[in-house]
Amino acid sequence: MQNKRSLRKSMHKPHDIKAVVIGTSAGGLYALKKLLPALPARFPCPLMIVQHMSPHSDNYMVRMLNEKSAITVKEADEKEPVVPGTAYIAPPDYHLLVEFDFTLSLSMEEKVNYSRPSIDVLFETAADAYGSHLLGIVLTGANADGAEGLAYIKKKGGYTVVQQPADAESPAMPEAAIARARPHKILSLSEMIALLAKAEFCAGH
């Protein structure tokens, strides 16, 4: 009986997570301005983020988020090893990928879901690298990017969370992710912040 209870618990709560990936589009800056500053400086996982943006964007968003957050927020660099307590944001017009040695790589290959960076590309490569130790999150957005990637994270044994569509500035992306991936949790932004801020799910926490 104890084993059955433990299994049910593991199915409904993230556990032994070693990395977090987040995808967002329209309305994402507002969501990230709420979420990242809520994390403790010693957040025990790295975070990799795709925010759809103009190819000509400067790094104002990254600088602003870094200034407001206790964790380090930076633009991802080629061949950079990921470390806890840091959020890596995909540069404009580059796909962000996670390699099997837990370093990052950047690519200018074709757009996926009309997007570069693509959430699906990040999610799928991170799922291949981290397997069941990955937490995937889809936030507000106006297209379907991230739905296939989130389903792939779930297939690989990772934990999946989507922002409640009614709570999102743009509900289309959460709705697509819910329909395709059937995520473990559908949460408001405030509930998601509470989940991440405690960081009890991170391996070695």
Catalytic positions, written as ranges: 25, 52, 145
Closest CA to 69 of 95, 35, 100, 23: 35
E-strand ranges in the chain read: 19-24, 47-51, 72-75, 86-89, 95-98, 104-107, 134-138, 159-163, 185-187
User: Which tokens is 89 given?
Assistant: 């944001």
Helices 147-155 and 119-130, packing angle to 10 deg: 10
Give the amino acid at 131: G
Distance CA 10, CA 194 (A): 19
